[in-house]
Amino acid sequence: MLQRGALILGAWLALSLPARAATELPAGEFLTDTVDLRSLGMGEGGVAVAAGAGAVSVNPAALNAVEKHHAYFTHAFEHTGMGTDYASYGLTYKSHHAGLSYQHVGYSSTMGTDDAGNKTVDVSPSDTAYGFAYGTKLGGVDLGVMLKFVYSKIVDTASAMTWDLGGQYKLGEDWAFGLAAQNLGGDMKFEQVNDPLPLRVAAGLGWKPMPDWLIVLDMVNPVYSASYVALGSEYTIKVSDWGALSLRLGANSRTPELKALSGIKAGFGFRFKGLDVDYALNPAGELGQGHHVGMGFRFDWPGWK
């Protein structure tokens, strides 16, 4: 009961955090990209139901859903020449869950200039994050923590260390509650200027009105930008005893400035025994559309308990 109360109190306090002045812009915005394709297909919601090694970016407590070993890989064909790669791995030993993650974003090359505006050399910006996660259950609550090392390169490079924390709790058979805080602490320093990382907190609910139908609702409060809501759904069609097809649809109010239905997301996932294949469509208004593909492997090693 104490752990559940702490989770709910944490959600209330987190969502009460005031947004800071717009003049204090964060660095490392790529850390807020949704790289778990199940969540992305449901409108970027799912803090309460995130599950598996690939979902630690949504809520590190998702690591507790790894039964033995789980590897997950995604690639995003983004708009404006961007490309994102993500890889994660999780394992379970008794009541302990450990995971690793890697995220890399590459941007289109641009011509560099000096202080006088003269052209210099081509610049190829990039962002990279390495994550080390741990999860366990305490008093019926799934808990998770992830330490991240972040590197950004424009012309010069900058680095930072930050933390993610999360928890999930099942409210009976049909309901679940989740809370996650991302990018706690850490600054990126470019040219003697320290920019904070994009701290944000999220609380969410998951509801199953039917065994194969899931609805999620998240409230997300970024400290350096406006709060937004994400609403999504997943319907799973079982294919015999060896596979299932999941259809996903959702929307959020995160980027109203992009218009053109940019908040609507969609996707699907197919599971065949230990293999997962995912796809998500991520419209970005006038910037174009992002296409995300992913593959996961759930497996066991002989002798591993």
**pLDDT in the model for residue 303:** 47
Rounded to two decimals, the pTM is 0.86
Average pLDDT of 283-301? 82
Local confidence band at 286 (pLDDT 50, 70, 90 cut-offs): low
- Residue 148's contacts (CB-CB under 8 Å, 6 or more residues apart) are 31, 129, 130, 131, 132, 161, 162, 163, 164, 183
- pLDDT tens across 20-56, in order? 544 456 778 889 999 999 999 999 999 999 999 999 9
**pLDDT in the model for residue 23:** 43
**pLDDT in the model for residue 88:** 97
Query: Does pLDDT of 98 surpass 60?
Result: yes
Per the domain annotation, does 142 fall within a domain?
Answer: yes
Report the range out of 4-18, 265-279, 289-303 with the highest average pLDDT: 265-279
Per the domain annotation, does 232 fall within a domain?
Answer: yes
Per the domain annotation, does 26 fall within a domain?
Answer: yes
State what percent of residues in the chain have pLDDT above 90: 58
Beta bridge partners of 67: none
**pLDDT in the model for residue 83:** 82
User: Does 2 or 253 have the greater pLDDT score?
Assistant: 253
Cβ count near 253 (within 10 Å): 14
User: Does 111 or 83 have the greater pLDDT score?
Assistant: 83
Domain count across the chain:
1
Max CA separation in the chain (angstroms): 67
Query: Does pLDDT of 73 surpass 90?
Result: yes
Report which DSSP code applies to 27.
S
**pLDDT in the model for residue 305:** 46
Per the domain annotation, does 228 fall within a domain?
Answer: yes
Burial (0-12, 13-18, 19+ Cβ within 10 Å), 42: buried
Note down the domain range covering 61.
2-299
- Residue 118's contacts (CB-CB under 8 Å, 6 or more residues apart) are none
Per the domain annotation, does 181 fall within a domain?
Answer: yes
Per the domain annotation, does 304 fall within a domain?
Answer: no
CA distance 173 to 159: 43
Lowest mean pLDDT among 83-92, 132-141, 147-156, 283-292: 283-292
Average pLDDT of 190-199? 81
**pLDDT in the model for residue 39:** 97
How high does pLDDT run on average in the chain?
A: 85
State what percent of residues in the chain have pLDDT above 70: 80
The residue type found at 75 is: H
Contacts of 150-153 with CB under 8 Å at 24 or more apart are 150/28, 150/31, 150/186, 150/188, 150/197, 151/127, 152/27, 152/28, 152/125, 152/126, 152/127, 152/128, 152/188, 152/190, 153/124, 153/125, 153/126, 153/127
Report which DSSP code applies to 63.
G
Cβ count near 125 (within 10 Å): 14
Cβ count near 117 (within 10 Å): 6
Per the domain annotation, does 305 fall within a domain?
Answer: no
**pLDDT in the model for residue 187:** 85
- Residue 13's contacts (CB-CB under 8 Å, 6 or more residues apart) are none
Local confidence band at 304 (pLDDT 50, 70, 90 cut-offs): very low
Helix (H) or strand (E) holding 227: none
**pLDDT in the model for residue 87:** 97
Average pLDDT of 272-292? 85
Query: Does pLDDT of 9 surpass 50?
Result: no
CA distance 167 to 4: 9
**pLDDT in the model for residue 276:** 93
Per the domain annotation, does 72 fall within a domain?
Answer: yes
Structure tokens that stand for 241 in this block: 């005893």
Query: Does pLDDT of 189 surpass 90?
Result: no
CATH code of the domain covering residue 101: 2.40.160.40
Query: Does pLDDT of 242 surpass 90?
Result: no
